[in-house]
Amino acid sequence: AQKVTQAQTEISVVEKEDVTLDCVYETRDTTYYLFWYKQPPSGELVFLIRRNSFDEQNEISGRYSWNFQKSTSSFNFTITASQVVDSAVYFCAGANTGNQFYFGTGTSLTVIP
Amino acid sequence: GAGVSQSPRYKVAKRGQDVALRCDPISGHVSLFWYQQALGQGPEFLTYFQNEAQLDKSGLPSDRFFAERPEGSVSTLKIQRTQQEDSAVYLCASSFGRPASSGANVLTFGAGSRLTVL
């Protein structure tokens, strides 16, 4: 069975602070894929990043960066210099080579101006 | 279309009524998924189509839930004899490839259909 854990339910930061969202993906499979999605108040899930289990290189894209560590099954997401527009619910998801994508319960991020 | 389109955006039903939710995926996308998202929770898998074939319906909570995609494009999720516990946002997602062969394609989601059962 697969399980996605996002231990942080809600986070509040002041604008321009950095914030890290945690995710742990538990699976017995050696091949799997991890995703981060953003869900703004409008409700539509927006894709942010996908990584596979063989690639532990960290990635930076603008103010976003991701850190994947296979040994701890963690796939953490950092927003640098947060902005009010970053306020949303962020979901981590995992998928094996089957058809199902498993989502965590989400972390609600509020950036205070 | 440019994105995944879902209708209606909001649906209020009386307990016991039947409802039908429509999903229009991105043109050419082979895979189509339905998810159920309860308030404050993450999306939960309901069912998966590859073209017109429903390959996985293990997430459908009861036999009151039925999904179809007869021509491999538009899909309809039908809920019969709705109950209050069916109240949720129903999300549709599509992807270009087949997950098992392509290493888990990225899902593009619609805005969802919010169902409220009174």
pLDDT band at B1 (very low <50, low <70, confident <90, very high): low
pLDDT of residue A1: 75
Residue B13 one-letter amino acid: A
C-beta of residue A90 within 8 angstroms of C-beta of residue A36: yes
The stretch B81-87 carries a mean pLDDT of 97
Nearest to B81 by CA among B67, B69, B63, B68: B63
Of A42, A52, A97, the CB nearest to B111: A42
Q: Is the pLDDT assigned to residue B22 strictly greater than 80? A: yes
Q: Is the pLDDT assigned to residue A33 strictly greater than 90? A: no
pLDDT of residue B47: 94
Residue A42 one-letter amino acid: S
pLDDT of residue A56: 76
Residue A96 CA to residue B104 CA, distance in Å, equals 7
Please give the helix or strand (H or E) that residue B100 lies within, else none.
Answer: helix B99-102
Condensed to tens digits (0 to 9), the pLDDT of residues A46-99 reads 999 888 888 777 777 889 988 988 888 899 999 999 999 999 999 999 988 766
pLDDT of residue A100: 77
pLDDT of residue B46: 95
C-beta of residue B35 within 8 angstroms of C-beta of residue B110: no
Q: Is A75 on the interface with B (CB under 8 A)?
A: no
pLDDT of residue B106: 84
- How distant, in Å, are the alpha carbons of A69, B43, B107 from that of B7? 40, 18, 19
Query: From the CB of residue B96, how many other CB atoms can be counted at a distance below 10 Å?
Result: 13
From chain A, pick out residues whose CB is under 8 angstroms from the CB of B109. 37, 44-46
From chain B, pick out residues whose CB is under 8 angstroms from the CB of A102. 45
Higher pLDDT, A42 or A16: A16
Q: Do B43 and A44 touch (CB under 8 A)?
A: no
Q: Is the pLDDT assigned to residue A109 strictly greater than 60? A: yes
pLDDT of residue B112: 95
Q: Do B43 and A100 touch (CB under 8 A)?
A: no
Condensed to tens digits (0 to 9), the pLDDT of residues B43-71 reads 999 999 999 999 999 999 999 999 999 99
pLDDT of residue B103: 52
Residue A84 CA to residue A19 CA, distance in Å, equals 13
pLDDT of residue B104: 55
